Structure 1
């Protein structure tokens, strides 16, 4: 290679390096702006939860309160039975999550690996449930819960959410992706269907179970409509409907109180996310890919 060719190659490499650095810089700038745009409402919520109602509603808006009012968080416990509602939210979320992990995984395995009469018809009915708005079920669900005497109880709030058609479909798709040879080898060793499911398939389904658990926890913790209908006692409400009732207690809502209550309500889920960040991301990535 001549000196001229070497010089030209070096110039092209430097130009390519500059373009690559410029492209990376633009990419990082766009990501930083997008991240700030997404995190700004959360930061504004934190700041305004420490402000006064006049500062929150001021025009033009105030983005930094002159004095921080940490007592807004203490007022939440005066206006709401917060600890009772936190316990109800945790109990309902736990019951729903455990129920869906157990029932949806069993139903998904049955639809994926077992043969029984009207299998396709029953699965089509399950899928049809996904097409019906959940509001359609409110009246019959309420009548059932009322007949059982479960109004204003944790069981009444949690019962409709312990099974889902979506969870069944997702687990079925996951089990269908596992090698059939594993089941055949287990059957040759004398294992029955339940042993194959419990000892072989279920441990392999941890990514799917993680995704289902994440989706169920978020949906249950943020559920508003059904608990608001079935629970009229403030001490038996979860946090979401409990906080919603604060807007009806005054003619002019106390926005700092609402923001402080919302921050306290999201704290357990945020702590759970930070402690299980890798599993949460893997579970969401799995559910998105499927």
Structure 2
């Protein structure tokens, strides 16, 4: 009887705990609603872009605005292909962005590895000079870069678009900071086993740095894919146009700009970036959280 009485006395706190959990969940509703509102505001322009790409130019500016998909997407893409050669400009953009991203990752990895793990004269001075270039606006470099490419005879070519983007100071800085946290003992163990520096770099460093490389690769690809000012200056023939430059030429084709074509092309230009992010989202998030989990 005594044991039963004690068990009965212990049981009542359960509803209180349940009520406390309910209060905790209710307390989180304002934060959830705020995040949902912010997400809706962020997604709304992209939703309007995709929906407008399926409408004609007249329907885009109609009132009330049309919020459901239309039936003009195929027509818009067909007209867009006839005006700018959609397949060609997409291939140009993919080639330039892909090669430039891979090249910039290799340069950033090699330079970051040298700055983080090697001791050589002038290392600190070179790194400070590298960091100082981060405060220089890209627009300041356009004229020197134009003269350099002209003297090399590389204007209106893929080289003119790819070469300037192979050395990205921010990418080198990010890789240097990431590699600085890698234990030297791990690299020394590989060297003791007879591995050369390239074997250590690509056999030990790259697998560990894969999340950081994936996150950095997304940023580099995004910057190269959306690049507009320098390709506009460096390219002269329409066959070499990248997608942002080709879409900009639609404004001058007639007095009344067909926004249905432009929005269809803009919506199409987001697909490669979305596919890349979805393919690398796990590594991307791990790379962003890498610095937060250290120490």
- 1:227 equivalent in alignment to 2:231: yes
Provide, for residues 166-195 of structure 1, a one-character-per-residue CA deviation record: whole Å limited to 9, x for no partner: 111111111111111122223334444333
Measured after TM superposition, the shift of residue 74 of structure 1 is 1.3
1:175, 1:72 → 2: CA distance? 48
C-alpha contact (below 8 Å) 1:152/1:237 kept by paired residues: no
- 1:217 equivalent in alignment to 2:221: yes
1:152, 1:169 → 2: CA distance? 31
C-alpha contact (below 8 Å) 2:60/2:260 kept by paired residues: yes
Aligned to 2:126: 122
Equivalent residue runs for 1:7-22 within 5 Å: 7=12, 9-10=13-14, 12-22=16-26
C-alpha contact (below 8 Å) 1:88/1:238 kept by paired residues: yes
Correspondent of 1:131 among 116, 132, 135: 135
2:215, 2:293 → 1: CA distance? 11
- 1:50 equivalent in alignment to 2:54: yes
Measured after TM superposition, the shift of residue 281 of structure 1 is 3.1
Aligned to 2:158: 154
1:83, 1:202 → 2: CA distance? 34
Measured after TM superposition, the shift of residue 275 of structure 1 is 3.2
Measured after TM superposition, the shift of residue 107 of structure 1 is 0.6
Correspondent of 1:174 among 164, 172, 178: 178
What is the aligned length? 288
1:273, 1:192 → 2: CA distance? 34
RMSD between aligned alpha carbons?
Answer: 2.5
SS at match of 2:270: helix
C-alpha contact (below 8 Å) 2:131/2:173 kept by paired residues: yes
Aligned to 1:78: 82
- Against the structure 1 CA distance between its residues 258 and 289, is the aligned structure 2 distance closer, same or farther, given a 3 Å change threshold? farther
Correspondent of 1:267 among 268, 271, 274: 271
Measured after TM superposition, the shift of residue 4 of structure 1 is 8.1
Gaps of 5+ in 2: 1-5
Correspondent of 2:94 among 90, 97, 117: 90
C-alpha contact (below 8 Å) 2:212/2:283 kept by paired residues: no
Q: Which deviates further from its counterpart, 251-260 or 16-25?
A: 16-25
2:68, 2:8 → 1: CA distance? 66
Correspondent of 2:66 among 36, 44, 63: 63
Gaps of 5+ in 1: none
